[in-house]
Structure 1
Amino acid sequence: MKPLGYWLKRIDGQLEAAIDHLLAEEAVSRRQWQILNTLATGPRSLQEIDEALAPFRDSDSPTFQPAVAELVSRGWVQSGYALTGQGRLAHQQIAAKVHTFREKTIEGLSEKDYATLVGLLERVSANVAAL
């Protein structure tokens, strides 16, 4: 049996590659998708976008400003950082594909299985954080 770390790395890599491929078909990056999804709930400041997506920031990308600027230049986001009509339509179309992708990733799991899986991963995460 392979250890937990093996499966976490393998699944993470597979998910990253598959979602990147799906989003490339829509000509958006993963970060742009996350920004669209964040703004779908309402306007945000750049600081609020950065805070909402903090787990995805790193030393190479300390802010999402460049990705937001690309969405503004595309006409999907307006200043003040809210989705335009075009942005809402793009979000809806991409969200439908992402939803289908997510459904396929958990195919064969019951709702109870999924809840158990997520609960166990949360527990492992808390255990590691406490070390």
Structure 2
Amino acid sequence: MKPTSRPIGYWLRHLHNLIEAQFEAALAEDRLGRRHWQTLHLLHEAARTRAQLDAALAPFGTDGDGAVDDLARRGWVARDDDGRLGLTTAGQTAHAQVAARVEEARARLMSGLTTEQYVETVRVLAVMAGNLESASPTAGAETR
């Protein structure tokens, strides 16, 4: 069967499931979930208030304070004097170790593709999403 004989919805769902499984495997060594990684990586970029962190993570759903609390229990995340969340020294070390495994997973995903092909794929998907969002006010409400 040719790949083009299946509809885009099949490939989107199939790829999503494969990416999720790939991330689970990459994060399993540290008993982390994808939300842990997203939180760890955002806080690696910059310290953030809880509201800023929640806003950055909103497109991916919510798990309440579970990931932040777990990362804090591990000693990887702490609040500064201004109440912002940031990575501790142990958190920076953990981020570097987990980032290496995440990068390996991304490299497998990108094998055989150029950066330009990836960028074009993302652009096309964004246009498709925009088309549907503009056609129906409720179609994109969950992603905003």
Q: Is the TM value for this pair above 0.5?
A: yes
The alignment status of 1:17 with 2:45, answered yes or no, reads no
Q: Find the residue that maps to 2:38 and give its secondary structure.
A: helix
1:7 equivalent in structure 2: 11
Please report how far the alpha carbon of residue 66 of structure 1 lies from its aligned counterpart in structure 2 after TM superposition.
Answer: 2.2
In the alignment, the residues of structure 2 paired with residue 66 and residue 118 of structure 1 have an alpha-carbon distance, to the nearest angstrom, of: 30
Tell me the equivalent position of 2:116.
Answer: 112
Residue 96 of structure 2 aligns with an amino acid whose one-letter code is: Q
1:74 and 2:74 matched: yes
Paired residue for 1:26, among 30, 33, 44?
30
Instruction: Give the total of aligned pairs.
Output: 127
Unmatched runs of 5 consecutive residues or more in structure 1: none
How do 1:90-129 and structure 2 match up within 5 A? 90-129=94-133
Specify the structure having the higher radius of gyration (Cα): 2
Q: Which residue of 2 aligns with 1:52?
A: 56
Partner residue of 2:93?
Answer: 89
Q: Deviations over 1:29-64 (max 9, x none)?
A: 111111000100111111111100001225xx3x3x
Structure 2: which amino acid aligns with 1:85?
A: T
Percent identity, aligned pairs only, is 36
Q: Cα distance, 1:26 vs. partner?
A: 2.3
TM-score for the superposition, normalised by structure 2: 0.83
CA RMSD of aligned residues (A): 1.2
TM superposition outliers: structure 1 runs of 4+ over 3 Å = none
